[in-house]
Structure 1
């Protein structure tokens, strides 16, 4: 019996307009009413998750979300961070140095800040596409030099054109790739986290904390950053719009995000 369902947001829970359909909403609320724990598990920061948490009514005791591609687990009723796996500042500096060799923009993020890193005295005008990305996750982009960083950051982000990110991804030294979690979460985003930190790591930790066995956990996703989450679950469900890499490890396939695929999967494997 499935007792916990981890669900990605973009490309999975919501449609291309970032809207959760009434059918998906009603189906998830029905599952929660019967006692199934729903956990949103996404690359977004908490600010970009809360609108869906509030819409679904997921603010009860022991409701949780997994954010930042698995680097943070938060209890939704109190907003208490119960697990966090930040990057070392030295590691961020290593990726910052690499970024100077390529075109994509380099940013760092935690649950409060989304910072574009620039050279001292560099005059930067934020790209409309980057501003739009900030709006999606309800977080304004700030501009800082590396020397101005004075907080804990859970991930670094490269933002740019797909071809430029292809070049960057191909140019990552093997030693750096082995020492960090590196994932192409979107065609325009390459994300870096501490080694071994991903959605699967966080899902296994949360399931363990809540006393659920792997066979009682289901995960639904569409992107390459959902790979470890799908592997970690006893039942891994991939959207019809998912990547071929993700589909290759799916236990089951469901409909696309514009066909209420999440609702279809919940009805098939949880409500029935």
Structure 2
């Protein structure tokens, strides 16, 4: 029998209405009762999957989640960060400089919060915060500190602008960061080492 099952959320567990299918939910709960360790994996922050963790009975001490496309692994009950591949301040500045030079709409995340450096918050940013069920704050770039543990920077724009931004990526940026275009309207920048397999191993060892 499998000891650990790591499951992606969006496009796998959820239907088009962003809801868990009842049959899938019951199968996961039953697997957990049989001793299989279930780890949800997502590009979202923990706050964006807490609802699903509750529905799947995965909010106990010893339950884990992999968030930000592998950028962070947390214990779900305590929200304790077990491993984080946070972007360093010079890296945040480099990504911001590139995005701002291309008139991109920037958001960024710590473990449970979403931020934007833009005083005039774009509607698409508000819509995404609502979809992710994550608190959104205005915080200028100069107020970001090393203690914030920035796990991900995400650009939100219409698909045409996103494609233009992708075309503008330099080889240096592509080589330095893990860059993900998971849906047509976003582009995500993460630490290069934030790969999910390593964090599955980290979860399995706890």
Look up the match of 2:40. Answer: 40
Describe the SS at the equivalent of 2:24: helix
2:153 paired residue among 135, 151, 156: 156
Q: CA deviation at 1:152?
A: 2.1
Give the aligned partner of residue 104 of structure 1: 104
Conservation of the 8 A alpha-carbon contact between 2:85 and 2:193: no
Q: Is 2:181 aligned against 1:184?
A: yes
CA distance in 2, matches of 1:77, 1:178: 36
* 1:134 match: 129
Compared with structure 1, are the counterparts of its residues 139 and 60 closer, same or farther at alpha carbon in structure 2 (3 Å cutoff)?
closer
Q: Is the 8 A contact 1:4 1:36 kept in 2?
A: yes
Judge conservation of contact 1:184–1:190 (CA < 8 Å) in 2. yes
| Counterpart pick for 1:202 among 185, 188, 199 | 199
1:187-222 Cα offsets, whole Å, 9 max, x none, are 111111112212233223323x24xxxxxxxxxxxx
Structure 2 match to 1:229: none
Superposed counterparts of 1:86-97, under 5 Å: 86-97=86-97
Residue deviations 1:47-79 (CA, integer Å, cap 9, x gap): 011111111111233211111111111112222
* 2:74 is aligned with 1:77: no
Aligned pair 1:27/2:22, yes or no?
no
Question: Quick check: 1:103–1:164 contact (8 Å CA) kept in 2?
Answer: no
Q: CA separation in 1, counterparts of 2:197 and 2:187?
A: 18
Contact persistence 2:41–2:65 (CA under 8 A)? yes
Is the CA contact 1:41–1:70 (under 8 Å) kept in the aligned structure 2? yes
The separation in 1 between residues aligned to 2:30 and 2:139, in whole angstroms, is 45
SS at structure 2 position matched to 1:135 = helix
Q: Aligned partners of 2:175, 2:201: CA distance in 1, in Å?
A: 21
In structure 2, list runs of 5 or more residues that go unmatched: none
* 1:201-220 equivalent positions in 2, closer than 5 A: 201-207=198-204, 209-210=205-206
Q: Could you state the TM-score of these two structures normalised by the residue count of structure 1?
A: 0.71
Summarize deviations over 1:163-188 as a string: whole Å, max 9, x none.
Answer: 11111112111111111111112111
Q: Distance in 1 between matches of 2:113 and 2:63?
A: 24
Aligned length: 204
Distance of aligned partners of 1:60 and 1:141 in 2 relative to their CA distance in 1, 3 Å threshold: closer
* 1:144 maps onto 2:134 in alignment: no
Quick check: 1:160–1:188 contact (8 Å CA) kept in 2?
yes
For 1:76 and 1:184, locate their aligned partners in 2 and report how far apart those are by CA, in whole Å: 26
| Higher relative contact order (Cα pairs below 8 Å, separated by 6+ residues) | 1
RMSD over aligned Cα atoms: 1.5
Equivalence for 2:6: 6
Question: Which structure has the bigger radius of gyration?
Answer: 1
